[in-house]
Structure 1
Amino acid sequence: MLSGELADELRAHLFPGDGLEAAALLLCTVTGERRQKWLGREIICVPHTHCTRRPDFIKWPGEYVEAAIDRAAVRGDAVIAIHAHPGGLFAFSHADDESDHLLMPAIRAGTDRMAGSAIMIPSGAMRARLYEDDRATPVDLVMRAGTDIEAWWNDEATASGSSKPAMAFTCDMRTSLARLSVCVIGVSGTGSIVAEQLARLGVGEIILIDFDSIEERNLNRILNATLADIGGLKVEMFADAIRRYRSDCEVISVPRSVATREAVLAACEADILVSCVDSAEGRHVADRLSAYFAMPLFDVGVAIPTEPLLLGGRRIVEVYGRIDYVYPGGSSLMDRGVYDAALLEAEYLARTAPQALAKKIADGYLLGMPEEAPGVITLNMRAASTCVMELIARLFPFRQFANETHARSIFMLAEGDEDVFAESQFKYGSRFPVGQGAAEPLIGLPALAEQRRDA
């Protein structure tokens, strides 16, 4: 898994425009137990002038391998040696095999970890393989998470190049989605609709995270929920519903708050995150998950602000939905003002010292009006559908304009308007490190650190 920024840096070095091979070393954080992922964290570029370079050959000094081993040892990283194939050969050559036979044992011995090698062609597509011993094991998927989400599957590649993304909305798209894992955080008003659409579209694995139980007041907006489900866990109900029509879908239910160690470790094994929460804390965790585990993130929110009337009562000011797409190394939800430190603190006070917020109205969907069972499923449907359409657009581009222009979409139903915001309109704050994986404390939050077990 590579952030768009790291992949672009790597491509710029490997293809300087002279048609000759070039090399680099990628330091990776290895994470995940059920689904192992190698997260690109740092690139060590081998200077072109220090190499013997030809269109189909490269020789580079061992001092850069030693530097990579030394740097990797500090954090326990793994090392992948990468070189360019400027001629476009999207396969490992016999010369590559011979080079790996000499290089991989040296890297494994120096890091005491698996090592890898990879090739990149001018389009930026990559193939990789790992060495635990003398045998090479192909990496199933290399993914670049930037303004577009590019997925290069090993078994779909040929020597002439990588397969093109499937056409959106076709059976081929469903086949591609069947190979991906998507984590949905929050399985309520918008989350249940997002999860339903992902399941019906054919996503192969869906991880559901929600700590809450179903209440009668939820039945008007949580898909598949019935009177018989009241009191049961949302994730268990929804997982059972998916299994009734998708025997081929792996559904993993996590009945925990996303702000728990168990939930974070489950979420990080997905390929893509979708945040459907209604709290600043939930979005803060999703933000950190996206950066630390180099995962693309889609966040959806809805609101119906109201205002008082002079003669009493209230009126609706607007009915709106917001969809943000965040990629590792880009602007975060916090950078974009979706939440801030003050809101995080307010939520903390509400949990630990509710008397400190006694003067604040507990707002729900209708801001300023307490509503136990608001009729908002139509709004939720619109927002959830827009969110999933954004996911499709990133994986299977169909727009007649660049996806970069749609970092955020906001629709306003009362006004009858829709605004879009480009990634360049948001200031990147470098808030969270990219590709750190499960380093302690988990996602940089001391509360999620692994508890020490005293002997």
Structure 2
Amino acid sequence: MKSDLTLNTLHLGVLTAELCRPDGKEHAAYILFGLSRIGKDPFDGEPRLRLMVKEVLPVEETEIKSSDHQHISWSTKRFVELLARANRDGLQLGIAHSHPHGPDHFSSQDDRNEAELARLAQNRNGEDAMLPSLLFADGELAAARVWKSPNEVINIDRVRTAGSRWRTIFFGAAQDAESPALARQELALGAGFNRMMRHMRIGVVGAGGTGSPLLQQFARMGAGQIAIFDPDHVEHSNLNRLYGATWDDAERKIRKVDVARREIERMGLGTRVETYDAWIGSPECRDALKSMDVIFGCTDDHDGRLLLNRLAYYYLIPVVDVGLALRVTTRFGISCLEADGRVTVLEPGSSCLVCRRVVDAGVAAEEALRRSNPEEYERRKSEAYVRGEGSPSPAVIPFTTSVATMAVEELIQRLNQFRGEDGAIANRVRKFNLVEDFRPGAKKEPCRICGSERIHGLGDVQPFLGRAG
């Protein structure tokens, strides 16, 4: 089994400050983790365990028995108390400690001490209890692992940060993506950016107007793994904005995900593609969604947006939601096109789509009913209890491509900071007809999704994401 870890930049900052103090002594902290159990990784088919940092609790000076630059010893009384809390809240309790001047790997003494703590955790919380452990050395996060039992350890191969800066810390060899196709990109953004793109797992929900240009750009930027989710097939009305789609695809009702895969594989740039022709709420999509490092939401489905909205906070997987609204209006007797593009980043610390008034819970419920009980939906529609499908929305390829590029720009900013350290934008709306960008706010009182730290990084719960039905 492979394992990786996600934490937000705030928690990484707290851990670094607490464990890497200028006194040169070893320090320690407790960490509460959420778990994401992935039965089958979409790209290698193996099980994967993901951990999410929920809370950092430094070991207090009064708990420390002795400490110097080579060792630390502290009372485990609080560890036992926190085990009870972890068990009650469906979490795992772990530890972190420092080697101020190295080594940058766990010592034999660390092995003995942590094996005993893992034994204590399982004696108290049962055989499913684990002991995650992080090591900081020379001021940096240097190693991480998970004790599945006192005799079984899984090394964590990489750590991902969420927040205004998305970093990936690799433990072990992570080769640079050397390719002539990426040489010009390296000149602009650096070899480190290419390496992150090669190892990143990018999910794209919706392979239509905005998803199609996103996929084209990600593959040409050297993305190593892409998962595409879309249950629809190509229609003739898609051909004005769906990259790579042909008249023959529409005639044969080829799936949008198959067109996307075909076009990416034709590039020959080494991107691995997995496709899912199902609605993202379907159980067969869960492992894949939970395996992503970032997800781009390119769907007009309100219920799908609500699902991704929750996923971002439960699993600390940033979701970049992309929207485009085109309206034809009349001013002074002249027909005018108004075009608004929006890119919203969902993650702890940012307001969600509900608080930004992007999604409509009533429409989402109607969409869910249409999927689960089409006959009842049609009955209610005939009696005017639910809204009909309405007229098709206008769509023009320059605008769908432009708003997709806005989303790619935000990815580059979070990985590269090309706008500067404070250049991340959580919510941007472009008024194309005004040639201006705006940053609309959100409700003053956050909802129980984005405003409740209780669910941030909680991971697996029943039902999935706490959604009924």
Alignment counterpart, residue 387 of structure 1, candidates 395, 400, 407: 407
Show the counterpart of 1:286: 308
Structure 1 residue 343 displacement after superposition: 4.5
In the TM superposition, what is the alpha-carbon distance from 1:384 to its structure 2 partner? 0.8
Letter in 1 for 2:52: L
* Unaligned runs of at least 5 residues, structure 2: 1-5, 42-47, 175-185
Find the aligned partners of 1:210 and 1:336 in 2 and give their Cα distance.
Answer: 25
1:255 equivalent in structure 2? 277
Please tell me the residue identity of whatever aligns with 2:172: D
State the 1:257 CA deviation.
1.1
Structure 1 residue matching 2:460: 3-state secondary structure: coil
- The answer to whether 1:25 aligns with 2:52 is no
2:59 is aligned with 1:46: yes
* Bigger mean CA offset, 197-206 vs 340-349: 340-349
Q: Is the 8 A contact 2:298 2:322 kept in 1?
A: yes
Secondary structure of residue in 2 paired with 1:24: strand
**1:150 deviation in Å?**
1.9
Q: 1:104 to 1:57 in 2, by over 3 A?
A: same
Residue aligned with 1:336, SS:
coil
Q: Is 98-107 or 228-237 further displaced after alignment?
A: 98-107
Asked if 1:234 corresponds to 2:251, the answer is no
Contact 1:22-1:48 at 8 Å conserved across structures = no
Q: Contact (CA 8 Å) 1:3, 1:329: kept in 2 or not? A: no
Counterpart code for 1:249: T
Structure 2 SS opposite 1:259: coil
- Given candidates 147, 160, 164, the residue that maps to 1:143 is 160
Query: Within the alignment, does 1:344 sit opposite 2:360 as a pair?
Result: no
User: After the TM superposition, which of the residue ranges 172-181 and 217-226 deviates more from structure 2?
Assistant: 172-181
Could you tell which deviates more after superposition, 257-266 or 203-212? 257-266
Query: Does the 8 A contact of 1:300 with 1:323 survive in 2?
Result: yes
Q: Which residue of 1 aligns with 2:44?
A: none
5 Å-filtered alignment, 1:414-453, equals 414-420=433-439, 428-431=446-449, 433-447=455-469
Give 2:215's aligned residue. 195
Corresponding position: 1:152 with 2:169: yes
Letter aligned with residue 390 of structure 2: A
Check the 8 A contact 1:330/1:428 in 2, yes or no: no
Q: Which residue of 2 aligns with 1:67?
A: 81
Which of 171, 174, 178 is the aligned partner of 2:198? Answer: 178
Residue among 57, 70, 78 paired with 2:71: 57
Distance 1:246 1:59, change over 3 A: farther
Cα distance change, pair 21–135 in 1 and its aligned pair in 2 (3 A): same
The answer to whether the aligner puts 1:37 opposite 2:58 as a matched pair is no
Q: Deviations over 1:67-112 (max 9, x none)?
A: 2333333355433211234457643345434433443343345442
For 1:118 and 1:305, how far apart are their aligned partners in 2?
Answer: 52
Q: Distance in 2 between matches of 1:129 and 1:392?
A: 29
Name 2:144's counterpart in structure 1.
Answer: 128
Q: Quick one: distance in 1 between partners of 2:331 and 2:206?
A: 34
Does the 8 Å contact 1:44/1:68 carry over to 2? no
Aligned-pair CA distance for 1:173: 2.3
CA contact (8 A) 2:219 2:271 kept: yes
Give a deviation string over 1:155-204, Cα, whole Å, max 9, x none.
159xxxxxxxx986345422321111111111100011112211121211
Instruction: Report sequence identity in percent.
Output: 26
The C-alpha deviation readout for 1:424-445, integer Å capped at 9, x for no partner, is x976434251122231100111
CA contact (8 A) 2:205 2:211 kept: yes
- Who is 1:378 aligned against? 398
Q: TM-score, normalised by structure 2?
A: 0.81
User: Is the contact between residue 198 and residue 222 of structure 2 (CA under 8 Å) also seen in structure 1?
Assistant: yes
SS of corresponding position for 2:199: coil
**Counterpart amino acid of residue 96 in structure 1:** D
Shift of 1:354: 2.8
**1:212–1:137 CA distance, 2 compared to 1 (3 A):** same
- Post-superposition Cα deviations, 1:325-344, rounded to whole Å, max 9, x if no partner, equal 22235321222222243443
CA, structure 1 residues 170+337, in 2 after alignment: closer, same or farther (shift >3 Å)?
Answer: same
**CA shift for structure 1 position 237:** 2.3
Contact 1:168 1:397 in 2 (8 A): no
| Alpha-carbon distance, 1:129 to partner | 1.4
Cα distance in 2 between the residues matched to 1:149 and 1:121: 21
Matched, 1:115 2:135: no
Which has the higher mean CA deviation after the structures are superposed, 53-62 or 294-303?
53-62
Alignment partner of 1:315 is 2:336 = yes
For residue 12 of structure 1, report the CA deviation from its aligned partner. Answer: 5.0
Candidates 351, 354, 359, aligned match of 2:381: 354
Contact 1:55–1:87 (CA under 8 A) maintained in structure 2: yes
Amino acid at match of 1:440: Q
What's the counterpart of residue 371 of structure 1? none
1:271 corresponds, among 280, 293, 304, to 293
Equivalent residue of 1:68, what SS? helix
Q: Whole-Å Cα distance in 1 between the matches of residues 263 and 288 of structure 2?
A: 20
Relative distance call for 1:135 and 1:357 in structure 2 (3 A) is closer
C-alpha change, 1:408 and 1:235, in structure 2 (3 Å) is: same
